[in-house]
Amino acid sequence: MDRQSAYQEIDANGGEAYAKFFAAQNPEAPLTPFCHRYLFEKEQARANDERGFALKSLAQMESSSHVAQVAASASRDAANAAHTSATAARRSAFWTMIAAIASALGVAVNAALNLGWLDWARHLAR
């Protein structure tokens, strides 16, 4: 009996359940070593599938972790950009205030000139 025909007989009669039963009931039969080998290979295949699933799951977790790190980095960069923008806005607001004060002084001096108040003040100063 060769391996291929033994495995075909085991599969035809119920697979693993048959192999377990046959090996337990007929320890001296020529098919028994093939039954043990068949059961061993099936167990190895299951273990490989579980390992493959575990490795795939681990890879997905690592990928998710990397995505989270990238998102955190992008968030940190956005916060830094917002801080820089706020600082520039404060600086701009300060200089806008200075310009508004200078403009208001210019308007006041211009109004004083137009109303003749400076001539009157010059006349009082003499």
Counting every residue, how long is the chain? Answer: 126
Q: How far is CA 71 from CA 11, 12, 80, 83, in A?
A: 52, 55, 14, 18
- Alpha-carbon distance values, 70 to 45, 55, 59 (Å): 37, 22, 16
Tell me the C-alpha distance between 8 and 53, whole Å: 28
Domain boundaries, the chain: 3-89
- pLDDT digit string, tens, across residues 51-61: 888 888 888 89
* CA–CA–CA angle 29, 24, 31 (5° rounding): 30
pLDDT at 98: 97
Distance, CA of 20 to CA of 1 (rounded, Å): 19
75: which 2 tokens? 């968030």
67-102 pLDDT, tens digit each: 999 999 999 999 999 999 999 999 999 999 999 999
**Predicted pLDDT at 32:** 85
Other CB atoms closer than 10 Å to residue 29's CB: what's the count? 13
pTM above 0.85, yes or no: no
Model confidence over 27-51: pLDDT tens digits?
A: 888 888 888 888 888 888 888 778 8
